[in-house]
Amino acid sequence: MNPEIPDLRFAQSGMTIKMKVNKMLINGIELKKIRENLWEIPATGEMRVPGRIYISQKMIEKNLQDGEALKQVMNVAYLPGIQKYSLAMPDIHWGYGFPIGGIAATDIDEGVISPGGVGYDINCGVRLAITSLDHNLVKNKIDKLVSNLFKNIPAGVGSHGAIKKLSQSDIKNVLEKGSAWAVENGLGDNSDIEFTEESGTLKNANAGSVSERAIERGINQAGTLGSGNHFLEVDIVEEIFDEKTASVFGLFKDQIVVLIHTGSRGLGYQICDDYLGRIMKASKSYNFSLPDKQLACAPINSHEGEDYFAAMQSAANFAWNNRQVIMHLARKSFKDTFNITDSELGFKLVYDVCHNIAKIEEHKINGKTKKVCVHRKGATRAFPPGSKMIPAKYREVGQPVLIPGDMGRYSYVGVGTEKAMEETFGSSCHGAGRSMSRKKAMKEARGRNLINELKKEGITIQAKGYKTIAEEMPMAYKDVSEVVNVMHDEGITKKVAKLKPIGVIKG
Amino acid sequence: MSSSYSFVDHTADIAVDIKADSLEELFIASVQAFKEVVVEPDSLTSKEKYIIKLDSHSPESLLVNFLNELNYRLTYKNKIVNNIINMKIAQTDGNWNLVCTLEESDIDEDKIKTEIKSVTYHQMEIKEDKGKYSTRIVFDI
């Protein structure tokens, strides 16, 4: 397009656009095209920085027409100390406070930390484990395997009792040591620690900053999936895009792998709730101008900010321990089903990433390396080759980025890039993102037998309730390929492998 | 006195708009909406009474705390509220206070249809216009 000729073909809400445009106007929000899959919301009003969204024009037209998520990108730009841009990934959708898929980095001296930038399910995340088994060996026993997984891993509302109820001293150790607690208690291997983001422990966690009620809610939930979009999937490696990186990650075609998605359960919800209340009460003294109460925040170096950060890290450690225990229970389920030894099963962790977190990291801002607090709300860390923050084994290729899709189609394994460090504070997308409300999904599911439909596609599913299956039906989600392709084409994350589900357990 | 609520389409979570003739009615209607989200309609008879006293710095924060208290009692004590009596909300010295009695029943875990992680502050603003109160509530699920 000739830059001399202004392109004012604005797209109005609800319009079907067939042509490529350089600007859009959605519910009064202006979007300017920067690159093919990168759009900018200019800073207006009290926005301290512009907003930037990695997304295709087609996805904007299909998914963002109500303007709610775009408004949230703008709202995040009000946060004191925010650096460069209020960012969003292509799985962006309407959340609370931050949009889901939102990223913001704040200056650690003059900036803030916001519980709304992390969310209630602190360190909700994903872990991928490989096996030595291939599809041929597993396909005839998949029903039995799913049944054993469902029996051994508690799922559903308020699920509990996967392992013995933790003592007060155990829970303190879980909060401060993370998945190391599970390994010390025979629920995993040392290599599991090595291949977990931050080695499964955020070091500044402090159990003393966690309320009694939060502990009460978490003490019996280690090793439980919970409900909603949480799941455990048995997948086949269906396609390899990058042989070298796949080989470093231990992936091969037709291999059976396991994907686990859950977080810090009731303990994390309570911590977010406790500190939102406290920070909101204190916020009058800070006199910040914020457009949404859910963005309540405190200076990182204030008492409220420091206490929240310590409690949030405790919840993150609880979540890593949770996924570690689930992985151990999954390993046991495989061994019981196939009557094989550990060495025959070859169950190993590829990586565990969190996607609801705030972390102090070093990034280049205006050419200078600076410490910032990176809030990732429905976004994944995606560090590049050479990063000292990733396991030595992966330093040649980069950090594995795990991107679940929906239970009927596929998920992806990607790898972090230098471009992510330059543009997105080393972050990528975290999943498909919903395209349909739960209510709409229930309506779509009416009169259908989704369990049989999935079975015909070669997927065995077991869930505590049919309602969850209906709400989480594949069509309720965007096609994760579209999301991943935006990240791949923009060079933020490169595709490594595609996984296809054959067994699913849900709450 | 009257109140009503209607669910609003929300992609990831559950949003509901509440209207009522008084602040107390607004809180009670919010509880009805909360119940519709978390449990199937049932004819449980109330067995136990539980008194709740809360105070907070704003009416919105009071509503969030109140609903989160009920959510905690549901998911961790397996208690579902059937009726609310003697609800009183007052503002004193800049603080908002709530007192009421819950009539509750035990509920089986399997009867809980949706887990609410928390009641959020997103888009919540309790407005009063000519004696009519309204707010939106977004439940994180």
Interface membership of B7 toward A (CB under 8 Å): yes
Residues belonging to chain A with any Cβ–Cβ distance to chain B shorter than 8 Å = 93-97, 100, 116, 119-121, 156-158, 213, 216-217, 226-228, 266, 269-270, 272-273, 276-277, 280-281, 284, 292-294, 296, 434-440, 464-465, 467, 507
Three-class DSSP labels, A241-274? CCHHHHHHHCCCCCEEEEEEEECCHHHHHHHHHH
pLDDT of residue B93: 86
Q: In 3D, which of B14, B9, B7, B78 has the Cα closest to residue A157?
A: B78
pLDDT of residue B43: 63
Q: Is pLDDT above 80 for A159?
A: no
Inter-chain residue contact A293 with B112, CB threshold 8 Å: no
Instruction: Name the domain count of chain B.
Output: 1
- For residues A425-447, one letter each, b for 16 or more C-beta atoms within 10 angstroms of the residue's C-beta and e for the rest, the string is bbbbbbbbbbbbbbebbeeebee
Residue A381 sits at φ, ψ, to 5 deg, of: -65, 140
Average pLDDT on A91-114 reads 95
Q: Which pLDDT tens digit goes with each residue over A164-175?
A: 889 999 999 999
Q: Which pLDDT tens digit goes with each residue over A434-491?
A: 888 888 999 999 999 999 999 999 999 999 888 899 999 999 999 999 999 999 999 9
Sorted by where each begins, the domain ranges of chain A are 125-506
- Residues of chain A contacting B114 with CB distance shorter than 8 Å: 157, 227, 467
Q: In 3D, which of B65, B121, B123 has the Cα closest to residue A274?
A: B65
Q: Is pLDDT above 60 for A138?
A: yes
Contacts with A178 (C-beta within 8 Å, 6 or more apart), sequence order: A196, A198, A200, A201, A202, A205, A316, A317, A318, A320, A321
Q: Is pLDDT above 50 for B56?
A: yes
Q: Is pLDDT above 90 for A5?
A: no
Q: How many residues in total does chain B contain?
A: 141
Contact residues, B window 14-43, toward A, CB-based 8 Å cutoff: 14
pLDDT band at A53 (very low <50, low <70, confident <90, very high): very high
Catalytic annotation on A363? no
Q: Compare all CA atoms of chain B with the CA of A272 and give the residue at the minimum distance.
A: B118
Domain hosting B93: range is 3-140
> From the candidates A135, A328, A430, A488, which is the catalytic residue?
A430
Class of domain A125-506: alpha beta
Residue A59 sits at φ, ψ, to 5 deg, of: -70, -35
- Residues of chain A contacting B10 with CB distance shorter than 8 Å: 94, 437
What whole-number percentage of chain A has pLDDT above 70? 96
pLDDT of residue A12: 52
